[in-house]
Amino acid sequence: MIDLRLNFESTYLGLPTTFFTKLSPTAVSYPKLVIFNERLAIQTGINFSGIPEEDKTRFLSGNLVPAGIEPFAQAYAGHQFGNLTMLGDGRAIVLGEYISKNGDRLDIQLKGSGKTPYSRGGDGRAALGPMLREYIISEAMHFLGIPTTRSLAVVTTGETVYRDKELPGAILTRIAASHIRVGTFEYAALQRNKTITSALLDYLINRHFPEIREEENTPLALLNAVIQQQAELIVHWMRVGFIHGVMNTDNMALSGETIDYGPCAFMDRFAPDTVFSSIDHRGRYAYANQPHIAQWNLARLAEALLPLIDENKELAIEKSEDALNSFEVFYKERWKSMMRSKIGLCQAEPGDEQMITDLLDYMHQNQLDYTNTFCDLARDELPETDIYKTGYFKKWHTRWKDRQKKEERSLKSSRALMKSVNPAVIPRNHKVEEALQAAEEGNLCPFNDLVKALEEPYKDDHCLAPYQTPPLASEKVYQTFCGT
């Protein structure tokens, strides 16, 4: 048996057995390593040095499970497009919890690793394209400074998966602070056993919210902490124009990380109703709806916690509603602060929100690129384009410059602030699709080039121009798919 030098634990297995099923990944025919995130491995202290490449690949494909590791699939429920469904890891298996060199506890999960008791008729496998998509987007989110799961590796399986057509199979190695979701608590509540929900609550607090252990009402304290955590996360999404696509309750991780990069995308032209998911026909998860859906998901968490918040159901509802009502207030304040920073303002002044709204309205009406518009504003001189020469925009620009003069910081400092929060490069969907198509045909160069360009998203360099240019009409991608 090889020594992978991985310090694994499995504290999750200390929970009631209803939360998981122990099983090993299903072996694949001909695993081949496509991409390995060396930077992430070094950062976390994952050490494959001295391990033959073949054994490393076997481990990352699930073909090799070293002694002492107890893999498992998690059970959870979830509201999918508003409807409660019994779910679970239908194509993923957690190998264990790796203790990083910084002492962080990280789940290492294989996605696409075969059938589980929660597969619900699925094949338990994944295709290469969606796994590479998750690699690209999750790494882009990390470098944008947004809490996210990470991608350690993608391995092809040498097997074919069948969706609408035959596709090359693949497995993604995902690293996450944990995989505990709102849907995990919904699942616990469905057991109608307070002891089970309490065990999950205690585990979550010990793992992610140790600072609230001494609170008088820890379930309520947890709800309040998660409300602020998720509001902060959604503000980050809105800052960079990210659209998750499937904000089901099973895709809201209570670690505060963005999880599940299926039908997600970054907005090009600013349009609040932008939707990319092929199955979101009514725009439930549109860009502008994300804060409202986050609050809705948090209400489902509150419902699961009600029996623990107070034995008196009416009092429990009252306390949880007070907490949930704080989401909108907290989110709005964080959003305004974020938007001020996007236009180089630190201090709050009357009229700021109207000025921000006027800019967004102008961007929407004129179909301006969300990312590039804010980059243009941060430049010493605006580009010589007609869109910045209209009377309306000139008046707005004068208001903005007058407002900047009220700041205690210099204009140079304001521009530096703008450049620190407004990315110059995002994973534009047409470039992502271009890279994925090439990868499926055996050419990884576009994929590697895109990943490299996304490592310094706040660096505005002329050599990055191909990744900054909005898509032509013929290049636009209107829908993305989860790949299940």
Please give the backbone phi and psi of residue 106, each rounded to the nearest 5 degrees, phi first: -125, 130
CA distance 209 to 80: 27
**Amino acid found at 57:** T
What are the φ/ψ torsions at residue 161 (nearest 5 degrees)? -110, 150
Beta bridge partners of residue 156, listed in sequence order: 32, 170
The token duo for 238 is 């809105």
User: DSSP readout, 330-364?
Assistant: HHHHHHHHHHHHHTT--S--TTHHHHHHHHHHHHH
- The answer to whether residue 3 is catalytic is no
CA-to-CA distance for 68 and 73, rounded, in angstroms?
Answer: 17
Residue that the structure tokens 């925009």 belong to:
393
DSSP string, 308-338: HH-SSHHHHHHHHHHHHHHHHHHHHHHHHHH
Decide: 48 and 56 in contact? Cβ < 8 Å.
yes
- Tell me the CB-side half-sphere exposure of residue 105, using CA atoms within 13 A: 14
Q: Are 268 and 201 in contact (CB under 8 A)?
A: no
- DSSP percent split of the chain into helix, strand, coil, nearest 5: 45, 15, 40
The 3-state secondary structure of 58-97, one letter per residue: HHHHCCCCCCCCCCEEECCEEEECCEEEECCCCCEEEEEE
**Per-residue DSSP letter, 26:** P
Contacts by 362-370, CB closer than 8 A, 24 or more apart: 362/392, 362/393, 362/396, 363/270, 364/270, 364/271, 364/272, 367/269, 367/270, 367/271, 368/269, 368/270, 369/268, 369/269, 369/270, 369/470, 370/241, 370/267, 370/268, 370/269, 370/270
State the Cα–Cα distance between residues 242 and 239, nearest whole angstrom.
8
Which of these is catalytic: 89, 107, 250, 268?
250
Active site residues: 250
